[in-house]
Amino acid sequence: MIKTTNPYNGSTIKEYAMHSPVQLTTSIANAASAFENWKLESIKSRTKLLHKVSELLLERKQEYAELMTREMGKPISQSIAEIEKCAHCCNFYVENAAQFLADELIVTDADESFISKDPMGAILAIMPWNFPFWQVIRFAAPNLTAGNTILLKHASNTTGCALAIEQLFIDAGYPTGCFQTILTDHESIENCIADKRIKGVTLTGSGKAGKAVAELAGKHLKKSVMELGGNNACIVWEDADLEKYMETIVKARMQNTGQSCIAAKRFVVVDVIYDNFVAAFKEHIQLLKSGNPMEPHIEIGVMAREDLVVTLEEQIGTSVNKGAKVTHGNLRDGNYFEPTVLEEVVPGMPAFDDELFGPVAAIVRAKDRADSISIAANSTFGLGTMLFTEDIDAARKMVGAIPDGAFFINEMVKSDPRLPFGGTKNSGYGRELSKEGMLEFVNKKTVYIRK
């Protein structure tokens, strides 16, 4: 059985029976069977259904948002915004899919030659709980529209969301087998990946999970995309406009109660502005409203599970034992964790080296601009970097200095359907969103014609 629990009050939401091996095999068979007809549908037909998904998302956004907040504690206003973003993503692919998937003509010595973008088949998607609708839709929208079919293995604590998404695609009119949620455990995933009818696998989650699934995918020669963790640096130079951007900087760490792979985890601040930055940052986080995440004015909800809170406490404790100082927060009440500031953070501490998945800001002092870039680049992760400065020309020159998947100047790192999203190093490989994300699970086939 799978039991979902409200992290705010500890009440049981619902219990679900996991699928049996026979049910899993049937789901895979249905996905493979559906693909044979779905791949022949016109892009126009597929985008028509995707447009209906967008409409239903907006019609049901309050219902879906409340479900999300009950299952993982996200503030309700952020849950509503997540559903709206999902609808925006669908509309982006409705408008651009035909262009992205069009044959690409190549001039050669042939009478006609081009690249055909053919769907691959049934794709297994393993998705996390922190953005339970967005993580799924941003993969499903382009891949269904490209002609693939999808099996979703969602995080167990957001099983209600997983089944709601499956019903969403059914209600929009997608053929049976195009999108299915499977209720299973990690032990069964190996059998799914090994099945020859599964043509690829994508995972958004921890580095540990990513390595395990990537190993399985490699073992069976399956195409894979890994969207893993990060400990993004937020660099603050001496000329940063703190009055203008502090709200953005705080949001970069505290949005979704700090439970985001692309959140600013390490604030690398040059010495000249360090004291002013810390004072302003603390002032702003004290204004954040905490409480029942179902209330519309709440900005900090609860963490999604007790084990996540325990891990965060251990990471803070180890960092403090190694010399870090807690200068604000660090109070816990159940699954609520107060926004916290750690100072005197240096390499060798979990607060610097690892991913702290919660509302904790690790602040690192840099001597100057050059030192700030060196510190930011000192990471085994490579998801994204943000830099706040008024010197845009100098900031542009730093884009290549840090080998991350994204570099944002005077803005928090965020995902956008129009731009590719993904990381390097321990943050994974492959891209989601934009044209690049739509083409990850297509066969770029060379077609050569001599008349």
> Where in the sequence numbering do the catalytic residues fall?
227
d(CA 224, CA 200): 6
d(CA 276, CA 372): 17
Q: What is the DSSP string of 389-426?
A: -S-HHHHHTTGGGS--S-EEESS-----TTS-B--EET
Integer Rg of the chain from CA? 23
Nearest CA-CA partner of 192 in 229, 164, 228, 224: 224
d(CA 367, CA 357): 27
The CA-atom distances, in angstroms, between 215 and each of 205, 223, 229, 259 are 15, 11, 17, 26
d(CA 221, CA 224): 9
d(CA 324, CA 258): 19
User: Using a CB cutoff of 8 Å and minimum separation of 24, what contacts does 48-53 make?
Assistant: 49/172, 49/173, 49/174, 50/90, 50/93, 50/94, 50/97, 50/141, 50/144, 50/145, 50/172, 51/90, 51/91, 51/94, 52/172, 52/173, 53/90, 53/137, 53/141, 53/168, 53/169, 53/172
Within 8 A by CB and 6+ apart from 327, the residues are 278, 282, 341, 342, 343
Q: Helix or strand or coil: residue 40?
A: coil
The CA-atom distances, in angstroms, between 121 and each of 151, 179, 445 are 11, 12, 15
Within 8 A by CB and 6+ apart from 314, the residues are none
